[in-house]
Chains A and B, each alone.
Chain A
Amino acid sequence: MMTRAWVAACRVVGALTVAGFLVAAFTSVPNRIAWRLTVPPDLGPADAIVVLAVSVNSDGSLSDASLRRALAGIALFRKGLAQRIVFLGMSGEAEARARLAISMGVRRDDILTEGLEPTTRAEAERMRVVLRERLGVRTVLLVTDVFHMRRARALFERVGFVVRPATTELSVLSAGTPERRLRLVRGVGEELAARMYYRLFHYL
């Protein structure tokens, strides 16, 4: 009886998986779903630019995604959209980003670093204390990637900020090869799972 149920489950799940794989790899359905989940950028003046954390490599250098977010934040700062830039990130990520910004002409006094927050929720809470309560910041240009933005924006709005999304890595939405579309599916899947987790624990 148990074996029959197992075989039936495997057959149904297997068939759905094969069909799902073909749709994900060889059609534009993942691109369309990803576009629907995207928060379009709204670049404009703000009180501060907040660059959310990603990760650092084991040698302490910035990961690719971290570097992309940092560069996007620095570019916004150099356009004069805010007078202050905040880099977040544990294990030396925030400091490495600050050093990069200084090497690109940003003054040390205009940079804030915070490196003890392990989650986006903790980052939003820390920014509420540091930026909103201590410095009176209301509007932030929030720098994070295309999948992460919707959840990050909701968390920052929840602690009282007016958020202008500065979405990075929009190019992944136009993934044009099967491998890139599967990566897109993975990114969307991870973020949807993260949102479910945040909803489950009432963080959103």
Chain B
Amino acid sequence: MIAGGSWLLVLATITSAIAVAFGRRRGIACLGAAVVVAVETIGAAVLFFVANVTIGIGLVLAARRLTPVYLTIYEVSDLVLLIISLLQALVFETWRRSRTA
């Protein structure tokens, strides 16, 4: 079931272990909380992505009906939209946490 490329995970585990060893003095207890924050930010990025794609498809379909220009729906499947969504999530989550802190 496990396919090729798993050594990349080993690589990430090694560098993570080194980073944790260096940052140990700060206390390892808050590491779990940091993982939760990371997971929440990833979730926010996915929600932004879904919203971007949904609105994008709506705009493409509206443009097809209201103008003579033909736009393909594949326009909104550009990988860059995923990166933009991640940036949106980072900014939004940082802002939200700064307000609640």
Whether B70 contacts A118 by the Cβ 8 Å rule is yes
Select one of B39, B72, B73, B100 contacting A3, CB under 8 A: B100
| Chain A interface size range | 20 to 34
A14 on the B face (CB < 8 A): yes
Q: Of A24-32, A139-147, A149-157, which binds chain B?
A: A24-32
Q: Min CB distance, B10 to chain A, in Å?
A: 11
Count of B residues near A, CB < 8 Å? 26
B23 on the A face (CB < 8 A): no
B83 on the A face (CB < 8 A): no
The 8 A CB mask of B32-45 against A (1 = contact, 0 = none) is 00001011111110
Whether A181 contacts B96 by the Cβ 8 Å rule is no
B8 on the A face (CB < 8 A): yes
Whether B2 contacts A14 by the Cβ 8 Å rule is no
For B9, the closest partner residue in chain A by CB is A26
B13 on the A face (CB < 8 A): no
Q: With A3-B100, A197-B73 as known contacts, state yes or no: A27 contacts B1, CB within 8 Å.
A: yes
- A binding-site residues for B, Cβ under 8 Å: 3, 6-7, 9-15, 17-18, 25-29, 31, 118, 176-178, 181, 186, 190, 194, 197
